[in-house]
Chains A and B, each alone.
Chain A
Amino acid sequence: MSALNWHGIWAIFHHEMTRFFRTIWQSLASPVLSTVLYFVVFGAAIGGRIQSVEGVEYGAFIVPGLMMLTVLQQAVSNASFGIYFPKFSGTIFEYLVSPVGWIEVTLGFVGAAAVKAIMIALVILLTSFVFVGVHILHPFWMVAFLVLSSLGFSLLGFIIGLWAKSFEQLQIVPMMVIMPLVFLGGAFYSASMLPPFWEGVAKLNPVLYLISGFRWAFFGLADVPVGTSLFAVALMVVVCMAVIRWIFATGWRLRE
């Protein structure tokens, strides 16, 4: 195989990031606003009653979940919209006739979507410092989980964008599947707070593993072993890449 087309990757990445920076304030304002609202609602209202979860102040306890919630939302919507828009406007032909393969297109689009999601997550972390004191126990693993989750869900969003044939389809998967999984994945509570039966059900939810691992990096607390979390997110990245590779190899929904 010939060498990767780095200029091509950069062109796509740069183009996607430019689109993001063109509307940087909108891109940042809404996640920051919703973070503040979550703190007011969950932190102040519920936190007043719960006080602490396994020794961690409730306001701080929800920070990893809140970041993860935003990362998954942003990663999926950025990546799915990023590739769907050229399909919609017809400019997708350029990617299909130029010397870029699935690796270049994926690195460009997914890389940009993941970087945007990570930037927004960090802004949320900074915002939360205003409300609570958050101490990060394992910064390296915190970054590792953040990057891997952003990548995994950007890859998933990219697949959704390739698959979608309309704006409705583009919205439906994030709305109907991803959001419920995040909420049920323990973003705002610990699975150990659930009755045993529901705790078992919750453990079938892949998002739980991400949030659990991420929370462990912050506080050293986890619903499932960290190794399992790491394996789950790495598996997601690998499976999504395989699917994208297959889509480009067969030209499914891309080439006649």
Chain B
Amino acid sequence: MGAIIEIDHLSKQYGSGTKALDDVSLTIDEGEIIALLGPNGAGKTTMISIICGLVVPTGGTVRVGGHDIRTDWRGARKLIGLVPQEIALEPFEKVINCVRFTRGLYGMPPDDAYIERILRALALWDKRDAATRELSGGMKRRVLIAKALSHQPKVLFLDEPTAGVDVALRREMWQVVGDLRREGVTIILTTHYLEEAEEMADRVGVIAKGRLLLVRPTAELMGEFGKKTLNIELDTPLDAVPGDLADRGVVLTDGRHLRYDYDTRAERTGIARLLGDLAARGITVRDVSTRQSSLEEVFLSLVSEDAA
């Protein structure tokens, strides 16, 4: 499948002087789901805002479906649906009218059957006649999603779609995203949860300080950063790691502690075997703990690598 979004050397410096985006280039294929990860203030929203037409770039170009966002903005914008990070809805308007309105703005003739379908898919049909100010935060976010889908876009931007959404609903939203993918919609989402990216995205892009540090297939990235460390506290200190255990990568950090790095995604983590072997040698284990490198650490290591 061909490229649907082509971002070429995109930069943005706000009037305040903040350099929010620094020479970002990225090509996104049709039908792909890409997750943008990055700490607060990394430039994720800025990037989305430029593509959607809310923010004017200071350098570079973007094409959506072959339409340049500056010179052929009508063509580009027709293809895009945006769910913004901040919830903004007309407080006194009925849910269904909000959705109809957006469809009209995008130049599409009314289609109540289609609007009923999306409202049902987003569990909003029962609330269709409620004013938006009567809805909970999670419901409001779903109204924004319904609006963004109202004109059947080919590209959907979801800026932190699951912020403030409960766990059950979060799963439901992933479902909705899955359905959209099957219909061939290209999705760009931002999130702070590695888990969410892992669940939904084909590729993950990491942004920090306005730079796109890497873009990789999710599986590859998870393999690399999906490592865990097992710490074993021993009852009695050891002088050295027993011979064959050292070959498996077990190290003695100090006399009383053994460390073992393993891959959570591997078929066999080797933990059970390791604990069995220790028991067989009469080494008594007092306590075990595991630790996973967090997203924050991933960012930090990437950013420091980048600075080096």
Q: A-side interface residues toward B, CB under 8 Å?
A: 2, 5-8, 10-12, 14-15, 18-19, 22, 86, 89-91, 93-101, 251, 255-256
| Least distance between A112 CB and chain B CB atoms (Å) | 13
Residues A95 and B84 in contact in the complex (CB < 8 Å), given A2-B74, A256-B14 = no
User: Of A12, A18, A251, which is within 8 A of B105 by CB?
Assistant: A12
**B52/A97 in contact, CB under 8 A:** yes
Taking the complex as formed, is B174 at the interface, i.e. its CB lies under 8 A from any CB of chain A? no
- A105 vs chain B, min Cβ distance (A): 10
Q: Are B90 and A91 in contact (CB under 8 A)?
A: yes
Q: How far is the CA of A82 from the CA of B178 in the complex (A)?
A: 38
CB of B295 within 8 A of chain A? no
In this complex, the member of A11, A14, A99 whose beta carbon has the largest number of chain B beta carbons within 10 angstroms is: A99
Can you list 14 contacts pairing A with B, beta carbon distance less than 8 Å? A2-B74, A5-B105, A5-B106, A7-B104, A7-B107, A8-B105, A8-B107, A11-B103, A22-B92, A97-B54, A97-B80, A99-B77, A255-B56, A256-B15
Known: A89-B91, A91-B90, A96-B53. 7 other contacts (CB 8 A): A12-B105, A93-B84, A94-B102, A97-B54, A97-B77, A99-B78, A255-B55
| Interface contact B54-A99, CB-CB below 8 Å | no
CB of A98 within 8 A of CB of B106, answer: yes
CA distance A10 to B107 in the complex (A): 9
B51 closest partner in A (C-beta): A97
- Closest chain B CB from A85 CB (angstroms): 8
**Residues from 40 to 71 in B contacting A, C-beta threshold 8 Å:** 49, 52-56
Number of chain B residues whose Cβ lies closer than 8 Å to a Cβ of chain A: 35
Q: How far is the CA of A97 from the CA of B56 in the complex (A)?
A: 12
Among candidates B54, B78, B80, B91, residue contacting A255 with C-beta atoms closer than 8 Å: B54
Residues of B within 8 A of A12 (CB): 104-105
Interface string of B85-98 (1 = CB under 8 A from A): 01011111100010
List the B side residues contacting A99 at CB < 8 Å: 73-75, 77-78, 105-107
B82 CB within 8 Å of chain A: yes
Tell whether, in the assembled complex, residue A7 and residue B109 are in contact, meaning their CB atoms are under 8 Å apart: yes
Asked whether, in the complex, the Cβ of B104 is within 8 Å of the Cβ of A8, the reply is yes
Return A245 CB to nearest CB of chain B, in Å.
15
Q: Are A90 and B88 in contact (CB under 8 A)?
A: yes
Please measure, in the bound complex, the distance between the C-alpha atom of A91 and the C-alpha atom of B102, giving whole angstroms. 11
Query: Are B77 and A101 closer than 8 Å at their CB atoms?
Result: no
Task: Please give, as numbers and ranges, the residues of chain B lying within 8 Å of A18 by CB-CB distance.
Answer: 97
What 7 A-B pairs are tightest by C-beta distance, nearest first? A11-B104, A90-B88, A98-B105, A5-B107, A99-B74, A99-B77, A97-B52
Give chain A nearest CB distance to B149 CB in angstroms.
14
- Interface residue B271 (Cβ < 8 Å from any Cβ of A): no
* Cβ contact within 8 Å between B89 and A91: yes
Q: A2-B74, A90-B86, A97-B80 are in contact. Are A8 and B56 (CB under 8 A)?
A: no
Query: How far apart sit A98 and B107, CA to CA, in the bound complex (Å)?
Result: 9
Given A91-B88, A96-B54, A256-B14: A8 touches B106 (CB 8 Å cut-off): yes
Q: Which residues of A contact B55 (CB under 8 A)?
A: 255-256
CB neighbours (8 Å) of A100 from chain B are 105
Contact with A along B265-280 (1 / 0, CB 8 A): 0000000000000000
| Interface status of B114 (Cβ within 8 A of chain A) | no
Does A98 lie within 8 Å of B88, measured CB to CB? no
* Residue pair A95, B91 in contact (C-beta under 8 Å): no
In the complex, what's the smallest C-beta–C-beta distance from A24 to chain B, in angstroms? 15
Complex CA gap A11/B97 in Å reads 10
Interface centre among B15, B54, B86, B107 (most CB of A within 10 A): B107
Chain A CB within 8 A of B298 CB: no
Give the residues in chain A near B107, CB-CB below 8 Å: 5-8, 99
Contact of A89 among B78, B90, B101, B109 (CB under 8 A): B90
Cβ–Cβ < 8 Å partners of A89 in chain B: 88-91
On whether the beta carbons of A97 and B53 are closer than 8 Å, the reply is yes
- Residues of A contacting B100 with CB < 8 Å? 11
| B108: chain A residues within 8 A (beta carbon) | 7
A95 touches B105 (CB 8 A): yes
CA distance A255 to B106 in the complex (A): 19
Distance to closest chain B CB from A158 (angstroms): 17
CA distance A11 to B54 in the complex (A): 20
* Docked complex Cα distance between A251 and B58 (Å): 14
Nearest CB of chain B from residue A90's CB, rounded to whole Å: 3
Docked CA distance A6–B105 (Å) = 9
Q: Which residues of B contact A10 (CB under 8 A)?
A: 104
Task: Kindly list chain B residues whose C-beta atoms are within 8 Å of the C-beta of A255.
Answer: 53-56
Give the nearest-CB partner of A250 in chain B: B56
Contact of A251 among B49, B56, B90 (CB under 8 A): B56
State whether A98 and B77 are in contact (beta carbons under 8 Å apart), knowing that A90-B86, A256-B15, A256-B54 are contacts in the complex: yes
Q: Which residues of A contact B56 (CB under 8 A)?
A: 251, 255-256
Cβ–Cβ < 8 Å partners of B104 in chain A:
7-8, 10-12, 14
Minimum CB distance partner of B86 in chain A: A90
Minimum C-beta distance from A5 to chain B (A)? 4
Taken together as a complex, chains A and B put the C-alpha atoms of A8 and B108 apart, in Å, by 8
Closest to A1 in B: B74
Q: How distant is A197 from chain B, measured CB to nearest CB, in Å?
A: 48
Whether A11 contacts B105 in the complex (CB less than 8 A), given A90-B86, A96-B54, A97-B52, comes out as yes
